[in-house]
A and B are shown apart, each in its own frame.
Chain A
Amino acid sequence: MKILVPIAKVPDTTSKIAFAENNTKFVTDGVTFIMNPTDEWYALVRACELKEQQGGEVVVIHVGGADSEQIIRKALAIGADKAVRVDADPTDAYFVAAQIANHAKTENYDLIIAGKETIDYNSFQVGGMVAEFLDLPCVALVQKLDVANGVATLKREIEGGTETVEVKLPMVVCAQKELAEARIPNMKGIMGARTKPLAVVAATADDKLTTIASYALPDKAKQVKLVDKDNVEELVRLLHEEAKAF
């Protein structure tokens, strides 16, 4: 089975978020970048597990600059066999998805497994877009994925529960929590990752459909109204009368 996993680079969760140039640019100084957690913990690990069970190959693809090499090597250390980096700035989801689809269209992947959304722009776009570019079935918010005889059995989240579906491969999956357990790369993996192939390719010209005009931080830190623990009734009164919460 041949599996493609798109990976994104995002600021670490604890990063300080600040903007410059009249709130049009995210300040990256001092920000630690990591592989997007849902891409790494769920999509990539499940892809590696399926390959280990059934044989085949896991390829990771990333759209980004040379400074992304660290997260690509980490993906290889976790278990991917080779990597492709599209050398371009990933500013628009349509653009990113077009690059991934352009790579995938000639490679005959059985599965493309993406993480559900990145923790920076929280947009949930790339998986679905790649599926449409390639005219493939796609299931999102997937918590369970098994493959047998060319058919995937998936459990996806629906409002108030889950749904189990079957889809004939090839297809695109958007992974979320529970699909796999996060893996810490071992020494053998880290050593092996250094020599695994990483191809750098140029972007194909494609349109960017959206632009971020400006950013804003929340007005100010909230001022909490503390109520004494011996006066719980007062809190309930405030919630009812002042906040009108119930």
Chain B
Amino acid sequence: MSVLTFVEINEGKIKKASLEAAYYGSKTAEANGLASVAVVLGEAGAEELASLGQVGVSKVLHASDARFNHFDSKAYTKAVAEAVNAAAATYVVLSFNNNGKLLAPRLSVRLKAGYVPGAVELPANGLFKKNVFSGKASAQYQINTEKKIVAVNPNSLSPVKGAGTAIVEAFAPAVSDADFSTVVKGQDKITGTIPLTEADLVVSAGRGLKGPENWGMIEELAGLLGAATACSRAVADVDWRPHHEHVGQTGLTIRPNLYIAVGISGAIQHLAGVNSSKVIVVINTDPEAPFFKAADYGIVGDAFEVMPKFNAAVRKLKAAN
């Protein structure tokens, strides 16, 4: 019996969120005396797959089939369900990322296995913790079926890497061309920037910046820190910033190690997207801004005065280290 983790490859590399899931899978396997197995669909390098051993995976089931190079929820569900049977898995672990969010509920129905979406820590006493009410509370979920599915919230745990190497085994799931229902017409990737959902550090700004022409200092800080940039809904709605940068209830939910909010008041809808960040820094002219209640560090002051100094201090620190 085993714990099976679904691992995704992007441009030849294991996705960061998948590596976290594989680590979660290995830890769960260890706690239950099970083997840690991964399944990878689509073409990928053997060396990259074997490196999953560093997070405790002993075996990788690899379906090296070009039809899987693009995500198709129906075909993927069928293939992963077959891997669950092949590995005699009692736990299925995935990342609660864009593809995992669709694959996991489909698997839940196909396997009739209870599913916890967005787990934030390893299971304890058979219970799985997840955030609810947009991060305003948490809940402990019990799964009532023998087979259990868990999707791990990205950035919830830091994989500790060891020296292991996983055995890579060919896996040929019985999927036919008819199972592939999605035809990919094209991709539009924002190049040169760090995807927000994978970023450890995020610099974000809102209406307090007064206009899109003032984002230079935000981008400068992001560049200095190697951070992604984000924004509030208000500025995305007036097209000061692109929509894909919008974090909040109707935008992206992120949980970086550091979230710096400049000129954002911190309405509850915005907090819903960022309140799980590990460290929150707020820079705002209004000492009554609700964001200060959710912040770890803050400066009451004008962004136009504070940010140049902040950037200079970071530059100095980076130069000294």
Contact = CB atoms under 8 A, between A and B. Distances in A.
Contact of B297 (A122, A158, A238): A238
B107 to A, nearest CB: 8
Interface in B53-111: 72-74, 77, 96-98, 101-110
A229 to B, nearest CB: 3
- The interface size bin for chain B is 35 or more
16 contacts: A13-B249, A19-B137, A119-B134, A124-B96, A128-B109, A159-B10, A160-B195, A164-B186, A177-B250, A177-B251, A209-B143, A215-B137, A226-B292, A226-B299, A232-B310, A245-B201
Interface of A is mostly: mixed
Contacts of A168: 181
The 3 A-B pairs at the shortest CB distance, nearest first, are namely A229-B301, A137-B181, A128-B105
B137 A17 contact: yes
A165 B185 CA distance: 5
Contacts of B167: none
A11 B249 CA distance: 13
A119 B186 CA distance: 31
A235 B300 contact: no
Contacts of A228: 299
B143 A243 contact: no
Contacts of A215: 132, 137-140
Given A13-B268, A159-B10, A232-B309, A37 B250 contact: yes
Interface of B: 10, 15, 17, 72-74, 77, 96-98, 101-110, 112-118, 127, 130-134, 136-145, 181-190, 193, 195, 197-198, 201, 225, 243-244, 246, 249-251, 253, 257-258, 268-269, 272, 278-282, 292-302, 305-306, 309-310, 313-314, 316-317
Given A128-B73, A138-B102, A232 B141 contact: no
A83 to B, nearest CB: 24
Contacts of B72: 137
A89 interface: no
A53 interface: no
Nearest to A246: B225
Nearest to A211: B142
A241 B225 CA distance: 15
Residue among A94, A126, A207, A208 with the highest chain B CB neighbour number at 10 A: A94
Contacts of B305: 229
B298 A129 contact: no
A229 B186 CA distance: 47
B249 A119 contact: yes
B141 A211 contact: yes
A90 B247 CA distance: 28
A227 interface: yes
B90 to A, nearest CB: 14
Contacts of B139: 121, 212-216
Given A159-B97, A177-B243, A138 B74 contact: yes
A140 B101 contact: yes
B215 to A, nearest CB: 19
A131 B106 contact: yes
Most buried by B among A216, A224, A237: A224
A18 B316 CA distance: 46
A155 B25 CA distance: 31
A104 interface: no
A162 B15 contact: no
Name which of A17, A123, A139, A178 has the most chain B CB atoms within 10 A of its CB: A123
B105 A210 contact: no
Nearest to A208: B144
B201 A94 contact: no
A128 B306 CA distance: 46
A133 interface: yes
B145 A209 contact: yes
Contacts of A146: none
Contacts of B269: 13
A228 B301 CA distance: 8
B249 A37 contact: yes
Interface string A137-170: 1111100000000000100111111111111100
A163 B73 contact: no
Contacts of B110: 132
A129 B106 contact: yes
Given A160-B193, A214-B140, 7 more contacts: A124-B118, A132-B107, A159-B15, A174-B102, A207-B112, A210-B142, A212-B142
